[in-house]
């Protein structure tokens, strides 16, 4: 009987104790437990007013956890999937673009460590970095300039 009787706010707080969640994520996770229309919205409004739900903390959390391994493109996708506002996503992507080449170089160094021997090898390295969401310019700089270090 226990878990069914937990309030929506209680469920939301349990989710937030594990990691930062956006309001959209919480709405999706709590919707199946709503007993009357608007109940989830009221609970989340109250938690947001008290500072338990923060879009900025969600953005910072994703950047902190993911930016060392992923390019701005993939971080952008993750933030959009979490329902973060377009303005906050754009701001985060702008911040990440400034360090895109350095982060791509570090990911490349850990994975490959040395320049590719031929065009096929360079293409493989470029595809790998692209799959991690790094931009074309950063990828070109890293793969072509790998021997400049």
Domain count, the chain: 1
- Asked if the structure places residue 5 within a domain, the reply is yes
Summarize pLDDT for 104-130 with one digit per residue, the tens: 999 999 999 999 999 999 999 999 999
For 40, the 3-state DSSP assignment is: helix
d(CA 1, CA 58): 32
- Asked if the structure places residue 59 within a domain, the reply is no
Burial of 9 (0-12, 13-18, 19+ CB in 10 A): middle
- Asked if the structure places residue 47 within a domain, the reply is yes
Phi, psi of 38 (to 5 degrees): 85, -10
Query: Which CATH number fits the domain that encloses residue 38?
Result: 1.10.10
- Asked if the structure places residue 96 within a domain, the reply is no
Per-residue pLDDT at 28? 96
Question: By the 8 A CB rule, do 84 and 59 touch?
Answer: yes
Q: Is the pLDDT of residue 137 over 50?
A: yes
Domain of 7? 1-52
d(CA 38, CA 32): 12
């Amino acid at each position: 009987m226990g878990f069914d009787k937990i309030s929506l706010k209680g469920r939301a707080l349990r989710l937030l104790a594990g990691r930062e969640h956006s309001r959209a994520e919480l709405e999706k996770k709590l919707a199946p437990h709503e007993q009357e229309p608007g109940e989830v919205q009221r609970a989340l409004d109250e938690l947001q007013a008290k500072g338990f739900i923060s879009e900025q903390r969600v953005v910072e959390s994703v950047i902190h956890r993911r930016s060392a391994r992923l390019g701005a493109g993939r971080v952008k996708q993750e933030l959009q999937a979490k329902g973060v506002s377009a303005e906050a996503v754009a701001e985060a992507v702008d911040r990440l673009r400034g360090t895109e080449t350095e982060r791509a170089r570090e990911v490349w160094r850990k994975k490959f460590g040395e320049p590719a021997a031929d065009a096929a090898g360079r293409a493989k390295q470029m595809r790998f970095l692209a799959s991690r969401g790094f931009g074309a310019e950063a990828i070109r700089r890293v793969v072509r300039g790998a021997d400049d270090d």
